[in-house]
A and B are shown apart, each in its own frame.
Chain A
Amino acid sequence: MATRAAPPRPVRIVLAKVGLDGHDRGVKVVARALRDAGYEVIYTGLRQTPAMVVDAALQEDAQAIGLSLHSGAHMTLIPAVLEELRRRQATDILVFAGGIIPDEDIAELKRMGVAEIFTPGAPLQGIVEWLRERFPEVES
């Protein structure tokens, strides 16, 4: 007989569009897919500054932040989010990103501490499975 355990704390993920571009098709599709996969998704909406994203993640007690951007500003804005997390002593929050990001920038961003980057054509299933490895407690 299974022992009765306290229900697991839901895993919260903040999804954010950082920077000026308004292309939100990708982030919205990912938001639905993660919600369907059992995560609590908080989508911040457009034009978030790095400080706003980290604020949202702390307020919501999120375990992960997913950043979406398509404008080419990733080498400025993603490091700024990482820096803000360091400043607020919140580097335990997992950061992943998606968007139009060239290979050499991906390598650099991963060195800086981004856990994973999903580029155009990445299947939703791949994102969900990648997160499942990090948060095995989540059930869809």
Chain B
Amino acid sequence: MLRSRAHEEWEQAYEASPRRDDGLETSTLSGQELAPLYTVEDLPEGVEGEYPGRYPYLRGIHPGGYRGKLWTMRQFSGFASAAETNRRYKYLLENGQTGLSVAFDMPTLMGLDSDHPESRGEIGYCGVAIDSLADMDRLFEGIPLDRVSTSMTINSPAAILLCMYLAVAERQGVPFSRLEGTLQNDILKEFIAQKEFVFPPGPSMRLVVDSIEFCTREVPRWNTVSISGYHIREAGSTAVQELAFTLADGFAYVDACLERGLKIDDFAPRLSFFFDAHIDFFEEIAKFRAARRLWARHLRERYGATSERSWKLRFHTQTAGVSLTAQQPEINVARTAIEALAAVLGGTQSLHTNAMDEVLALPTDRAARIALRTQQVIAYETGVANTVDPLGGSYLVESLTRRMEEEAERYFQRIEELGGVIPAIEAGFMQREIADAAFRHQQELEQRRRIMVGVNEFTQGNEEDTIELLRIRPELEEEQIERVREVRRRRDRGRAERALEQVRKAAADPKENLMPHILEAVRAYCTEGEIMAAMEEVFGRYTETPVI
């Protein structure tokens, strides 16, 4: 395209103008080069034909954007015991939160009961401790499951926790068909980034497909997998890596379900996504937009999905934990607001805003409320929800969006060349890419080529940075251990043993879907750790060779 005269004049004027000489990077946070100016000449071809609610959904999956429905304000929370977390949920619902999101503690995430020796010191710290149906029942006491939607962040033992939720619904008299929510259930990103794996990749994938197959039939409004880039990004990846590895994981789940014999349009509409909203504003917005187009294209063109619902990428966003600082933690409110705004301008379906104290501990009530209020300011005060995809047509955003799509495609190609996602994981490919990016970023900070306020610049005030922190009661550990032992004492022992034997048998038979057997074990008050141990006897345990 010929450059306009005005453009040439600008270029000359720019060349002649003074520059800031501060040694700071002018590329995006992920290192994508940026020009000083974007113009109509940078608009990718075809952008003017893109409309919201229309394939390939660059501008959003709904024709009316947030005019139809605001995003769901879904604060991830859980700590200490089920009873304490239940009180926090009621507090959040009373304050206008519109969906629940359960954070489990480390033993629960790793499939260990509270009385396991390795659970020592970890009970109730990173989330709520759940050992059996008794805890799950208490967690949702007084919260009718047909009136809330619930997201559960759990991966290796996801099938078990889902069954506990289903069993609570049974006890509340709510049919499975009315349950709404999301199970993270994304084991691939555990191998890649968050590392909360238990079983090897093969049986892990089988459990994911078992739960998808079961929910497709029995729990049709449940989002079966929340394919997650968040942890990949927090582990240090670039925005493009987050985008590419997450979608590649998504394709791997699609492939596994097709191999099982499921029909694409039966299960694909219930796959959802979960991204990070980092601090580089425009790069993040471009990432969300690129993700929608990539998913739609691949689902339609590569997998032959014919239902529009299969093409639409729906996603949850959480603001970036890694962007927050322990220094002057109140500044985190500002960071989180900017990141949340990027998520909204990128068209997120639901959003978690981090509390300012999350870099130090789990949030206090006050910090959790301010985080929720931040979303409410964006939704109700700023006016950004009044127009659909307000940055559509932005020279910069459209150009970045297209660039990220192209770079993601190059990663898909490389993963394909390595034999697919699981062989690439086993070769340490994604892990190494992420570790390299994390190290690069740290060096940029060390060399002051990037600034983190309060960390490597503007540190005056750091001495006053103490804020109130949530402490977990030290008695909790013993109480929780006693609770799980009490459950084991009081249950029908014969029924529990038979149920565990059935789980073991079903695990050994790859043709059998494990879900009904796990559900029966949960109803019989088998504990999470017992059900995991029964499966581990068959599946074995995964250990990784660390990549530095």
Contact = CB atoms under 8 A, between A and B. Distances in A.
B546 A100 contact: no
A46 interface: yes
Contacts of B194: 22-23
Nearest to A24: B195
A22 B196 contact: yes
Contacts of B288: none
A21 B121 contact: no
B446 interface: yes
Given A121-B325, A123-B445, 9 more contacts: A24-B195, A32-B439, A32-B548, A71-B125, A73-B121, A74-B121, A75-B121, A77-B121, A120-B326
A46 B125 contact: no
B422 interface: no
A91 interface: no
Interface in B101-158: 106-107, 109-110, 112, 118-122, 125-126
Interface in A7-25: 19-25
Contacts of A22: 190, 194-196
Contact of B125 (A25, A73, A119): A73
27 contacts: A20-B106, A20-B109, A20-B112, A20-B118, A22-B194, A22-B196, A23-B195, A23-B235, A24-B546, A25-B438, A28-B547, A32-B435, A35-B548, A45-B544, A45-B545, A46-B546, A71-B126, A73-B125, A74-B121, A77-B121, A100-B361, A102-B361, A102-B469, A120-B359, A121-B327, A121-B452, A124-B446
Interface in A91-109: 100, 102-103
Q: With a 10 A CB-CB cut-off, give which of B120, B234, B545, B547 has the most chain A CB atoms.
A: B120
A49 interface: yes
A28 B121 contact: no
Nearest to A49: B118
Contacts of A35: 548
B17 interface: no
Main secondary structure of the interface of B (DSSP, over half): loop
Contacts of A100: 326, 359-361
Contacts of A47: 118
A43 B121 contact: no
Question: Main SS of chain A's interface residues?
Answer: loop
A119 B472 CA distance: 20
Contacts of B452: 121
A21 B125 CA distance: 11
Nearest to A101: B360
Nearest to B108: A20
B118 to A, nearest CB: 7
Contacts of B545: 45
Contacts of B472: 72
Contacts of A76: 120-122
B543 interface: yes
Interface string B224-244: 000000000011100000000
Interface in B320-342: 322, 325-327
Given A22-B196, A45-B544, A125-B446, A102 B360 contact: yes
B546 A72 contact: no
Interface string B513-548: 000000000000000000000000000000111111
